[in-house]
Amino acid sequence: MATESTRTRRGVDIVVRSIIPVVLALIVAAIILLALGKNPLYFYGDVFANGILGGNWQNSLVVMTPMLLIAVGLIVVFRGQLWNLGYDGQYLLGAVFVGGLGPQLAPIVGDALTYLITAVLAILVGAVWTLLPAWLKARFGTNEVITTLVMSSIGVGATSLLIGYVFQDPSQRTPQTRTFNTSDMLPYIPGTTIHIGFIVAIVVALAFQFILSRTSFGLRLDIYGASPKAARHVGINSRGMTIVLFLISGGLIGLAAAMDILGHVGYVRNNWNPAYGDTIMPFVFLARLSPLAAIPFVAFYAIFATGGTVASIDSGLSTDFLMVIVALILVFMTLTEYIGTKRDLGQSYLPDELRDAFRRPFDTLRTRSAK
Amino acid sequence: MAAPTPGVISLKHITKAFPGVIANNDISLDLVSGQVHCLLGENGAGKSTLISILAGMQLPDSGTIEIDGSPVTIGSPKTAMRYGIGVVHQHSTLVPTLTVIENLMLGETGLLLKEKRAKARLDELSDLLGATIDPDSLAADLGLGQQQQVEIAKAMWTGSRLLILDEPTSMLTPSAIENLAQSVERLTAQGLGVVFITHKLREAYSMGDCVTVLRGGRKVGFLSSDELRSYTEDEAQTAILQAMFGEDLAAAGGLADAADLAGAADAVREIPAVDFSVRPVVLELDDVTSAGRTMDVAVKDVSIRIHAGEIFGIAGIDGHGQTGLAEVVAGQRVATRGSVRFDGNDITRLGVRERQALGVRYVTDDRLHEGTVGSLSVALNLMLKRIGKRPFWRFGQINRAAVNDEAEKLIDQYTIRTPSPSTRAAALSGGNLQKVLLARELGEGAQVVVVNKPTYGLDLKTVRLVHDLLRDFASAGGAVLLISTELDELVELSHRIGVISKGEIVGTVDNDGVNTAEKVGQYMIGGTQDGD
């Protein structure tokens, strides 16, 4: 069947286009490493050893947990062509309530109830923090990129204030919340050192894959994202959709904070900001805004981040080198998309002027030899 | 600026294929300076693709373009402009919030705007076109005819040797078409080549020096200027029609019907009379006023009554509140005053989905961005207005089999040409997209349908199909609010025609077969100050 084969080709095309940028970024990063006088093979080997080998893959999956939840939270709004860039503020505010209340709550109400209360609280806090940008967008069309970024800064500042004036651990000199007892934190998946938050993240990703691809809500969301005009035509309540999408996004980011604090970090220190959202941003797009496809991409980055942090220190590099690689992926992703679109349209890859400039010397040569 | 040089632009064996369709199949054309070359063919015949290749928006898969004998590659619109090829697109490309002169200077490079020089150039071009264009008025304030003159000036801005006009008459009033014909005459007298794309036979005959007919991506007919001159009008018509329809001529209903379809003669009423005093009023609008959005004409104090089985036409120059009227009825826009009643029940406060369920439907004119979602499958596009309803969705979860079955049924019933129900809607031609909309809106339980420019940009067979569907819908007791800028269409289909201007209905004409078009035209001219 003709349609069958074109569909397979499209599928292969998408996979190739998603992986090429990562491969190219790793190659260029290797060249940068060479230029810095480091051995790239040693560096990548080190990443592999510290990210996967031994029990290290378990650490990677722990790191992956909040990243995957945030990725799903971003995918939901991005599919609606809404850009929630306030993830840092939403994450930290959610985290500070978990770290601020959880350790004291656990001895009183028990672990299970603590998990439930703090997780719900973090979801609510994350969601509420998106409410103002969402309402401004829905009511006045205010650019949500700006409002969410501003709200994020306010959220980061508010986190510091909350630690300083409300949640400060009296037994500590450094500004930070109380710390969970290790026994009060999320239990491990039996036989591993991965907390059950990882399962929560996977389940959430699969659930949203189902919601987005197979339910009426997912279809309405896709229509709304593809064309607000079509959404109005079909009778979708655009304002309601905007607000719901932001609330879900903020809620999932809050949940990510809860899982991270309850299962991994245990407390919130002042000026601590893991900025997960920034690092996973390119992978969300490489996964073509699919929660299912985001799982391997986020897993890849989690391994890279876990192993790369150690490898960077081993090689005497700043851990910011990881951000260089993330940025390279973004650059190559843009280039791949550009070339792919040009090819789909059957256009030439080079501007005419440039091609003519290349061609001119040959043309002159040819006319000369003809004489 | 350089004077147009005499010469010829030749397209040689141009072939361009897209997945699933060969848009241009071995097409060769000579575009001679000083001539109007008419490109006739239905939509989907490959005219647009050929134009986008000439304009540098796409590269052909094979074949060459030669200018005065030397082969060239036109790989970008910029290159096309450098060769003096200017295109006036079917849809306005002017920025409404900028002035005429600002619009014209948009493509200029350099650090500073050279407004004085630009105004001199505009004067030069207005002389050439025989038009008066005020450089400082806002593009949004221009009438459609004037907008088109500005578009032509824009296409010729940096000096031009070939001007391509893509369906330039489809939205113009008869007097504006007259002006355009005069401008084209002046341009060719100056030695400029003009490509005139149309689907109306009488325009091709009256304006063209030579005619090329495309069908299914192939060049199926060519009348050189000598041939065209030696033929009588009837002979030319027959030759062109045979080329246009080929073996489908019988399917189109013989030569006479085909001529009618192809707009060879003036339109006459084709819908049977109905005694509406015994029919119930289905849709009532009482002094409806809508809130306007920015840059959009709102509806003011509109009162309309449409009976069961009636087709009520709305005539008017595009952009005079037609969309507002359609949306107020469909529920996409709120009425700030007045009431909308359906079957006697007030539906003014109901939303799109409730009205849809009652049987009030809307076939929008923006098929591409509003009526369909290109990234979704044809099947889903057919079901857009029934999302979440049983049996297609159960407990919110889609039942793919049920959706596909329903889609296949509709695809069959409305002869939608698509490789499969799961093909993305973006791959369909305009005509097939319109069939998708009609299948969705006219199906199950439709009582009132608003159709906005239902045949705009469609091929003739689809136009015929759309007209038949609307007639059948009305004769089965449905009420139709037919909004159109094609006067011919309104005269053929409507029982009554209301004329809209600046958001108000300025007059209603009974389509009794006597000079309807003239009466409507008078209201149109009387109702607008800026004319065309």
CATH number of the structural domain spanning residue B517: 3.40.50.300
Same domain? B224 vs B88: yes
CA–CA dist B472, B459 (Å, integer):
20
pLDDT single digits (tens) B184-211: 888 888 888 999 888 777 777 788 888 8
Residue B32 within any structural domain of the chain? yes
**CA atoms of B446 and B21, how far apart (whole Å):** 34
The whole-number pLDDT of residue A201 equals 97
Q: Please say if the pLDDT value at position A2 is more than 50.
A: no
Minimal Cβ distance to A348: which of B75, B369, B393: B75
**B94 and B212: one domain?**
yes
d(CA B492, CA B268): 5
Residue B496 neighbours by CB under 8 Å, 6+ apart: B310, B312, B313, B508, B509, B510, B511
pLDDT of residue B170: 63
Q: Which among B513, B531, B530 is positioned nearest to B521, based on CA atoms?
A: B531
Q: Which of the listed residues B395, B419, B440 is the one where a domain comes to its end?
A: B440
Q: A155 and A129 in contact (C-beta within 8 Å)?
A: yes
Evaluate the CA torsion angle B86, B91, B96, B100 in order and state its sign: positive
Q: Give the separation between CA B364 and CA A235, rounded to whole angstroms.
A: 13
pLDDT for the residue numbered B4:
42
> How many other C-beta atoms are found inside a 10 Å radius of the C-beta of residue A239?
12
Residue B3 in this model has a pLDDT that exceeds 50: no
Which of residues B261, B296, B314 is at a domain's end?
A: B261
Question: Measured between CB atoms, which of A3, A234, A345 is closest to B58?
Answer: A345
Chains A, B: CB contacts within 8 A come to 87
At position A30, the amino acid (one-letter code) is: A
Q: Do A347 and B366 touch (CB under 8 A)?
A: no
Specify the length of chain A in residues: 371
Which of A81, A233, A343 would best serve as a mutation to test chain B binding (most B beta carbons within 10 A)? Answer: A233
Question: CA of A323: how far to CAs of A65, A86, A178, in Å?
Answer: 19, 19, 31
Tokens 């090829």, located at residue: B85
What residues of chain A, 316 to 355, have a C-beta less than 8 Å from chain B?
345-348, 351-352, 355
B105 and B66 part of one domain: yes
The number of distinct structural domains making up chain B is 3
**List of chain B residues whose C-beta atoms are within 8 Å of the C-beta of residue A222:** 373, 375-376
Centre a 10 Å sphere on the Cβ of residue A190 and count the other Cβ atoms it contains: 6
Which residues neighbour A334 within 8 Å (Cβ) at sequence distance 6 or greater?
Answer: none
Q: Is residue B521 part of a domain?
A: yes
CA distance A216 to chain B (A): 5
Q: Which residues of B touch A226 (CB under 8 A)?
A: 373-376
Domain membership flag for residue B368: no
Q: pLDDT (tens digit, 9 = 90+) per residue, B63-114? A: 889 888 888 888 888 888 888 898 888 777 788 788 888 888 887 777 777 7
Query: What value does the mean pLDDT of chain B take?
Result: 84
Question: What distance in Å separates the CA atoms of residue B428 and residue B458, rounded to the nearest whole number?
Answer: 13
| Residue at B303 is within a domain | yes
Residue B225, SS3 per DSSP? helix
- Yes or no: say if A258 and A118 are a contact pair by the CB < 8 Å rule: yes
Nearest to B344 by CA among B302, B286, B274, B276: B286
Residue B527 pLDDT > 50:
no
| Residue contact A230–B373, C-beta within 8 A | yes
Lookup: tokens for A246: 């932001």
Q: Answer yes or no: do B302 and B402 share one domain.
A: no
3-class secondary structure per residue, A299-337: HHHHHHHHHHHHHHHHHCCCCCHHHHHHHHHHHHHHHHH
Q: B375, A226 in Cβ contact below 8 A?
A: yes
In a domain, B451, yes or no: yes
Quick check: A1 contacting B, CB < 8 Å? no
Report pTM: 0.78
Tell me the H-state helices in A80-196. 87-109, 111-140, 144-165
Residue B516: count other Cβ atoms within 10 Å of its Cβ: 23
* Average pLDDT estimate for B43-60: 84
Please indicate whether, in this complex, the C-beta atoms of A233 and B364 are within 8 angstroms of each other: yes
In a domain, B365, yes or no: no
B5 has a pLDDT exceeding 70: no
Q: Do the chains contact at B75 and A355, CB–CB below 8 Å?
A: yes
Does residue B43 lie within any of the structural domains? yes
Task: Set out the domains of chain A in order of their start, with CATH numbers.
Answer: 18-342 (1.10.3470)
Cα–Cα distance measured from residue A252 to residue A91, given in angstroms and rounded to the nearest whole number = 9
| B20, B376, B388 member nearest A216 (Cβ) | B388
Q: Which amino acid is at B125?
A: L
CB-based contacts of B114: which residues, under 8 Å, 6+ apart?
Answer: B105, B108
Confidence of residue B258 (pLDDT cuts 50, 70, 90): low
Indicate whether B461 and B495 sit together in one domain: yes
**Is residue B263 within 8 Å of B248, Cβ to Cβ?**
no
Residue B369 belongs to some domain of the structure: no
- The verdict on B384 and B456 lying in the same domain is no
Using pLDDT thresholds of 50, 70 and 90, give the confidence band for residue B249. low
What's the complex ipTM?
A: 0.81
pLDDT, tens digit, 9 for 90 and up, residues B308-335 = 999 999 998 777 788 889 999 999 988 8
Q: Which residue has the higher pLDDT, B266 or B397?
A: B397
Q: Which helix (H) or strand (E) holds B222?
A: strand B218-223
Pair B230, B312 in one domain = no
Asked if B28 and B13 count as a contact pair (C-beta separation under 8 A), the reply is: yes
Asked if A220 and B387 come within 8 Å (Cβ–Cβ), the reply is yes
Provide the pLDDT for residue B267. 67
Cis peptide before A175 (omega within 30 of 0): no
Residue B143 predicted with pLDDT over 80: no
Is residue B52 located within the same domain as residue B154?
Answer: yes
Question: B204, B229, B261 — which closes off a domain?
Answer: B261
Helix H or strand E encompassing B66: strand B62-67
**β-strand partners of B480:** B311, B449
Kindly state the average pLDDT of the residues B142-146.
71
B161 & B234 share domain: yes
Pick the closest to residue B167 from B260, B106, B83, B92 (CA basis).
B92
**Chain A residues in contact with B419 (beta carbon < 8 A):** 2-3
Instruction: Give the range of the structural domain holding residue B422, as residue numbers without chain letter.
Output: 374-440
Instruction: Identify the closest residue of chain A to B400 by CA–CA distance.
Output: A214
Q: Which residues of B touch A235 (CB under 8 A)?
A: 331-332, 351-353, 356, 385
Higher per-residue confidence, B243 vs A162: A162
Distance, in Å, from the CA atom of B100 to the CA atom of B148, rounded to the nearest integer, reads 11
pLDDT at B18: 77
